[in-house]
Structure 1
């Protein structure tokens, strides 16, 4: 089958280190940490009292007040990032076939704050069932794509992928497949999450998944460091306009990069822990390379899942060494979660944007907060510690892995004629 080519023509980001794509990229290049004490609620009784929040966020600066009240923060974030991406793409919505324009989005949890608030209000009440009429629409994970499609009139495929922390990348791969199979011309794709709530922090604390470095939150996310003690919860959204190459070319669109391949696998091992030898991770990277028609030596940069957990970081590095062999020592590898924290279902979207911008600009963002080498990791690998590095990035691979054993890898490369 003659598959269509798929390119990136627009980007949008709302993150803990920048509320637009240019701000986000500056934060990445400069090694800015988004971690700070929680402001959303009183976290003084929690084991973890910090997170990577979107700073100084006011939904009404972006959205109509009445509309904003109908949305959980995860949908607000999605709408804001999608708007930036649409504007950046230069799409003329009156000139495209809206039946061939869709929205595929990722969210691992959906409206957690809405669910928490409504149930808390009910429990504190007198037992009379008084619920907000928008409770269910605000909570369900797929409502983000509903709102986005209504705003822009996109009438093509429309759904949300839910594969925990792999959700954003999962959404991008699904959109990629629809376009290259000739079933659509344009997608708004990406992911959003807003889990910095009492339930979010408390739930991950109960699993012992979060860092508890309350005395120095800005250095708490430290992937590959010997003293890492868990991930830092983040929030926000990333949006990417994916477009069929000839469609983009015909309208004279700016093209950031080409999306050339993706892979999806399952560990089939444990509900939260990765396979100790990185079996699912190595399989998914191999599948992504095969899908893209690339060899390991064609990749210059890997934006790793790299959450700063004791088990996950080691298993991912093992997987990279298995797939890339000697070429692993010529790669730049970095975890941008060291700066943004872990955005769960939105992680794949903002990390795809980081990968795209690395390809476009020839700059690899760093893994910050490295202080002590881990004897379980090969010190000869270039994990891009503490400072961004300049190099040509012909192709970048981005990994995201989720609870339940979900693995996704996606590859972007420089656009060729």
Structure 2
């Protein structure tokens, strides 16, 4: 099996499998263009709602072609204390909002786990451009001594991880992985590794991003990556559809609480799912374009399934990267076909960016939450705006209405990809008893 180490191949190391620490999901938190928390976002996804809107209230929007995006439905301010409102960037405010929800959802407090056994992995693709560029404008127009003193720490890539570590009192390490658009998924992969090697019992992990800044939007527009359907924002993002014409950016955060299964069961925690497998690969192909044949995607998915000791036939549903660009969707679909075969044999595919927009470093974490809930509730949300599959692709895209999973369908894959050829796949397995 190409690209998969011997110890991670199905059937290898039965004794090692018995001894390996299992990693489970016990808490979920998010803020998206569809809702300010997990329940509201999940219900909106099941209804196939739209989170993409015109950004015509922004003073710069009228002068730029990409005048739409997935702005968060609920602003973070009311849930923050006064210091957090002043000292945290918008990205970090999203992260803290989602982390607080996830921590509460997991039922954790200072009496249930030692701070020295708690770690944090929170990632972003572009950190916070607003803090950095606003600081530059102040320097340029008013001088160095008027630059806000927190400009540097607010704009650093670790800002969200540091802020979340303070909220949950994490003393076992705070990490920030940067893998472009797969950063949030890589954060979960890193968290799994921390727990498996006993560096922590609990890890708060995921991603946050606030990319609706004219510099970021202008860059994506310049590379012709954004949809031009500004006359109909609700129909702009069309993953895998024959009429897709580009992505739409969005903002938000998704944070998950991961624990060793032993720790979770000892405290009687609710378990949403197990992260049973992790797979990572790199294309080594191009800075922006994915590998056309999807070989990197296929390697990551295969490695994740092998790590979970599962086969492609076990996978009921797959939450796709689904960015709605011609090259991105085609490469990913070819990679899926290489692993699973054609649409008649493959898993049910769902692409959430059609509703939330592409939240860059937060996307993989937000979509991992959807993947977990799909297994937990036995429902796969539809892909919005999908009407007709591109004839070059062969995947089973869920659209129109949610797809119900059978009781025996207990495995799902989350696939992510990012600029530079970063591929990350996670394999989730449902708990023994699914919620009603």
TM range (shorter): over 0.9
Shift of the 327–309 alpha-carbon distance from structure 1 to 2, 3 Å rule, reads closer
Separation of aligned partners in 2, 1:128 and 1:180: 47
Q: Which of 105, 115, 134 does residue 117 from structure 1 map onto?
A: 134
Partner of 1:72: 89
Task: Return structure 1 stretches of 4+ with deviation > 4 angstroms.
Answer: 126-129
TM-score by length of 1: 0.96
Q: Which residue, out of 273, 279, 287, partners 1:271?
A: 287
Query: 1:113 and 1:363, CA in 2 relative to 1: closer, same or farther beyond 3 A?
Result: same
Q: 1:230 offset after TM fit, Å?
A: 0.7
Give 1:336's match in structure 2, choosing from 329, 352, 372: 352
How do 1:393-408 residues align onto structure 2 when only pairs under 5 Å count? 393-408=409-424
Q: How does 1:13-28 map to 2 (within 5 A)?
A: 13-28=30-45
More displaced 10-residue stretch of structure 1: 331-340 or 72-81: 331-340
The answer to whether the 8 A contact 1:179-1:244 is kept is yes
RMSD, aligned α-carbons: 1.4
1:45 maps to 63
Deviations 1:163-221 (A, max 9, x none): 00010000100100111122210000010000101111111111111111110011100
1:60 to 67, 77, 87: 77
- Relative to structure 1, the CA distance from residue 325 to residue 128 in structure 2 (aligned partners, 3 Å threshold; closer, same or farther) is closer
Contact 2:207-2:361 at 8 Å conserved across structures: yes
- Return 5+ residue gaps in structure 2 as ranges: 1-15
Q: 1:128 to 1:134 in 2, by over 3 A?
A: closer
User: Residues of 2 paired with 1:49 and 1:326: CA distance?
Assistant: 37
Q: What are the superposed Cα offsets for residues 63-111 of structure 1, whole Å, 9 maximum, x if unpaired?
A: 1223211111000000000000000000122231211110011111111
What residue number does 2:157 align with? 141
- Paired residues of 1:368 and 1:387 also in contact (CA < 8 A): no
Q: Which residue of 2 aligns with 1:262?
A: 278
> How far did 1:56 drift?
4.5
Q: 2:100 aligns with which of 73, 78, 83?
A: 83
> For residues 128 and 237 of structure 1, what CA distance do their matches in structure 2 show?
32
| Deviation digits for residues 335-354 of structure 1 (CA, Å, limit 9, x no counterpart) | 11111111100001000000
Which residue matches 1:188? 204
- In structure 1, C-alpha distance between the alignment counterparts of 2:343 and 2:49, rounded to whole Å: 29
Secondary structure in 1 aligned to 2:220? helix
Q: TM-score of the superposition, structure 2-length normalised?
A: 0.92
Shift of 1:328: 5.8
Is the Cα–Cα contact under 8 Å of residues 31 and 74 in structure 2 kept in the other structure? no
Taking the TM superposition and a 5 Å limit, the aligned residue runs for 1:261-410 are: 261-325=277-341, 329-378=345-394, 381-392=395-406, 393-410=409-426
Offset at residue 122 of structure 1 (A):
2.4
Distance 2:171 2:164 in 1: 11
Deviation at 1:159, TM superposition (A): 0.9
Alignment counterpart, residue 105 of structure 1, candidates 116, 119, 122: 122
Cα 1:328/1:244, change in 2 over 3 Å: farther
135 and 335 in structure 1: CA distance in 2 versus 1, 3 angstrom threshold = same
Cα offset for 1:371?
A: 3.0
- Cα gap change, 1:356/1:56 in structure 2, threshold over 3 Å: closer, same or farther? closer
1:216 equivalent in alignment to 2:232: yes
**Cα distance in structure 2, aligned partners of 1:298 and 1:385:** 22
* Distance across 2 between alignment mates of 1:144 and 1:279: 33
Inter-partner Cα distance in structure 1 for 2:147 and 2:171: 31
Is 1:259–1:411's contact at 8 Å kept on the other side of the alignment?
Answer: yes
Deviation at 1:327, TM superposition (A): 7.6
User: Is the CA contact 1:41–1:198 (under 8 Å) kept in the aligned structure 2?
Assistant: no
Q: What's 1:233 paired with?
A: 249
- In 2, the alpha carbon distance for the partners of 1:362 and 1:129 equals 57
Question: Secondary structure of 1:161's partner?
Answer: coil
